[in-house]
Structure formats: C-alpha cells, structure tokens
Chain A
Amino acid sequence: EAQVTQNPRYLITVTGKKLTVTCSQNMNHEYMSWYRQDPGLGLRQIYYSMNVEVTDKGDVPEGYKVSRKEKRNFPLILESPSPNQTSLYFCASSLQGRGYGYTFGSGTRLTVV
C-alpha cells in the first residue's frame, strides 16, 4: 500500500532531550516536507526536500534539523526540544513538478514538558 509512515504517533518528552521523528514513504517521491499544526495557526512548513541531499527551510525552521540521505526517509530532529515545540507534526511527500498533490502521514503528537 502506498503510504507515508511517521513514527512515533505520540511522544511525551522533557525539555532538552534530543529526539527524532521518522518519516518514510514507499512511493519513490522526490519531494518531502515537514509541517507543524497548531490551533488557530493552521499548518506551517518547517523544512522541505526536493531530493536526496537537497533540503531547504520552510517558514518555521528554528529549533529543527532535517536530513535526506535516502530518497524514502526524511527524519525531523529536535536537538534540544522546548515546550513551544509542543505540536502536531505531519510529514508529506509528492512527486516532483506540477500536477502532483501531497500524501500526508498520520501525524505525530509531540508534547514537551
């Protein structure tokens, strides 16, 4: 089944403890992206990647890192999480170019205490 898989679905962590949220797609998509969703603010883009080893900042990249070493994986890294990073996170992927819509993962609800 074609899908974007995020793990974990839920995570509670403490301030400053490094964590990684994984994202993997099995559709051979070139484009991948991370979003966070907060009440009243909609979805905001954190980082995106056009292909392997090509990444760029979205609108809210502060406090996050990404890497794209393989086409199928696009992990989101929080080196030193803070409570303002408590949010619902979504990974998305698509084929490159016009005419192709996103496929989203199921989301990761992160709480930083």
Chain B
Amino acid sequence: GIQVEQSPPDLILQEGANSTLRCNFSDSVNNLQWFHQNPWGQLINLFYIPSGTKQNGRLSATTVATERYSLLYISSSQTTDSGVYFCAPGPSGTYKYIFGTGTRLKVLA
C-alpha cells in the first residue's frame, strides 16, 4: 500500500517564525487533505488539495502530485498553531485516505 512520510517529525518555533512541513507519498493519489490536531485532540481540516496551490490566511499548501509530495506553509506562526499536522493522501482508485504520522509543532511565545 501507499507509504506516507512527513517531515520533520518535531518542530519548535518562536512566535512569528515561518515554517514548511513536507509530506511525501509513494504512489499516485487523486485526493489529499491536510489536518491540524490541536492540543485538545480536535481534528480540523485545513486543506483539500490533490494538486496545485491553495491559501487560507497565514496557511498555504502546495501539492505536486506528479512528484508525489505536498507542502504546508505556516507564516507568522502563533501559539495557537501548536499541535500535530497530518497529511492524508487518497490513493488513486480508492475512497480511502492514508494518514502520515504527523509533524508535531510547538510555537513558543
């Protein structure tokens, strides 16, 4: 099955810093989502992005499906950005999503 690798596994930033989170996947996909799990455990959908680039406020995401990776950019980070970020590609021909093990982000005030 598809392998999903997220990097870095852990990241500590000062408030105001920018960061890039990466998601590599081993097979072709026709769906991909990014999620944020906050410190209280809630999972929030950030982007549905099987290809191309999207922006939502300080967050943006780019997926290059032909090269099998996706990037999540966080600019001017805030303490409320802390938590775990998951990418979940959906392999072509299926209705499943396979989650990576996440990037744990801590933003310090």
Q: Considering the complex, which residues of chain B in the window 83-100 have a beta carbon less than 8 Å from any beta carbon of chain A?
A: 86, 88, 95-100
Residue numbers in A under 8 Å from B99 (CB-CB):
35, 42-44
CB distance from B10 to the nearest CB of A (A): 13
Which of the 9-residue segments A19-27, A68-76, A79-87, A100-108 touches chain B? A100-108
**A7 located at the interface, meaning its Cβ lies under 8 Å from any Cβ of chain B in the complex:** no
A101 in complex: contacting residue of B42, B48, B100, B102, CB < 8 Å: B48
Q: Considering the complex, which residues of chain A in the window 18-42 have a beta carbon less than 8 Å from any beta carbon of chain B?
A: 31, 33, 35, 40-42
- Give Cα A35–Cα B99 distance, bound, in whole angstroms: 10
Residue numbers in A under 8 Å from B35 (CB-CB):
102, 104
| Interface 1/0 per residue, B36-47 and A, CB below 8 Å | 000001111101
Residue numbers in A under 8 Å from B86 (CB-CB):
42-43
Please report B residues at the A interface, Cβ cutoff 8 Å: 1, 30-31, 33, 35, 41-45, 47-48, 50, 86, 88, 95-102
